[in-house]
Amino acid sequence: MHNRPHASGNSVASTRLVSRQRRPRGTEVPLGKVTVGGKRIVVIAGPCAVESRRQMFAVGRVVKKAGAHAVRGGSFKPRTSPYSFRGLGEKALRILKEVRDACGLAVVTEVVSLSELPMVLNYADVLQIGSRNMQNFALLEEVGKTGRPVLLKRGMMATIEEFLLSVEYILSQGNDKVILCERGIRTFERYTRNTLDISAVPLLKRLTHLPVIVDPSHGTGVRELVPAVSKASIAAGADGLLIEVHPNPDKALSDGFQSLAPHEFTALMKDLALIARAVGRSL
């Protein structure tokens, strides 16, 4: 009947590399031509998985026009079932690069394991580490060594403390270009896929010097809830959003039920600009 360890209080020890005390003004992480963590709110948008050149160009043009700064799309998909669609691999990476060049959008894509890391480095501006890999420590250290910006998603079962210790694995390799992403935690609720932890946004901003973004698509799992939660995230102080957009959500190979259609995304961007201004920022 021992006490369980828990968070140590008012702040993260300043001996930790992630601690806000080590860099009170905060860190800005490059995302193509902009940075995350400054006055500007950044938006990364795109489908769960890259399915075809046609799909990605359709998305890229729409989200660029609506004001997004980067495009996302899975090339290698970690799937709960071995029988699900697992991504187009390098073909997807090449498509992403084409979209980047044609539309002027940075590319964010997930690295699933060590073996494809060198390949992904050839194409991605930002390396995403997904929530299932938040404690894949070997992978964290390797992306740390690359020096490339990293978008690290909180595990769906991870405490804030564990999330920050995973960040420490990356920082301890000399790479401080890390974007933190809240994407919802697992609870007993059934209307939603996860429960987005909105308080994680101001908490992470206080404890660390790193930028914090929110993924409202996985965080709720419900398309109709994405706009409200996106607005809430910016109001809570998030530095950006990662939003699933698909040209035809009902035909998506994965996660269509939580993806916005192009017109929904465009309308949301206008609303977000108003919220950004209300908190002294711009989109």
- Scanning residues 37 to 76, which ones bind a copy of itself (CB under 8 A)? none
Among 117, 236, 243, 268, binds a copy of itself (CB under 8 A): 236
CB of 116 to a copy of itself, least distance (A): 9
Among 36, 108, 160, 245, binds a copy of itself (CB under 8 A): 160
Q: How far is CA 30 from CA 132, 147, 224, in A?
A: 24, 12, 31
* 102 near a copy of itself, judged by CB under 8 A: no
Which of 54, 186 has the CB closer to a copy of itself? 186
Among 6, 24, 25, 250, binds a copy of itself (CB under 8 A): 6
What is the C-alpha to C-alpha distance for residues 224 and 217, in angstroms, rounded to an integer?
Answer: 10
Among 34, 232, 261, 267, binds a copy of itself (CB under 8 A): 232
Residue 230 tokens read as 């996106």
Is 118:145 a contact under the CB 8 Å cutoff? no
From 26-34, 182-190, 247-255, 262-270, give the range in contact with a copy of itself by CB under 8 A.
182-190
* 24 near a copy of itself, judged by CB under 8 A: no
From 20-28, 31-39, 117-125, 196-204, give the range in contact with a copy of itself by CB under 8 A.
196-204
CB of 147 to a copy of itself, least distance (A): 17
Amino acid found at 47: P
Residue 46 tokens read as 């795109």
Which of 34, 203 has the CB closer to a copy of itself? 203
Which of 104, 137 has the CB closer to a copy of itself? 137
- Give burial (CB, 10 Å; 0-12/13-18/19+) of 74: buried
Q: What angle do CA 123, 128, 132 make, to 5 degrees?
A: 135
Which string of x and - marks every residue 246-275 that binds a copy of itself (by CB under 8 A)? -----------x-------------x--xx
From 87-95, 101-109, 187-195, 242-250, give the range in contact with a copy of itself by CB under 8 A.
187-195
CB of 2 to a copy of itself, least distance (A): 5
Residue 226 has, within 13 A of its CA and on its CB side, a CA count of 26
Contacts of 127 (CB under 8 A, 6+ apart): 109, 110, 111, 117, 120, 121, 143, 146, 148, 149, 150, 151
Which of 125, 136 has the CB closer to a copy of itself? 136
Residue 181 tokens read as 């992403």
Total residue count of the chain as it appears in this document: 283
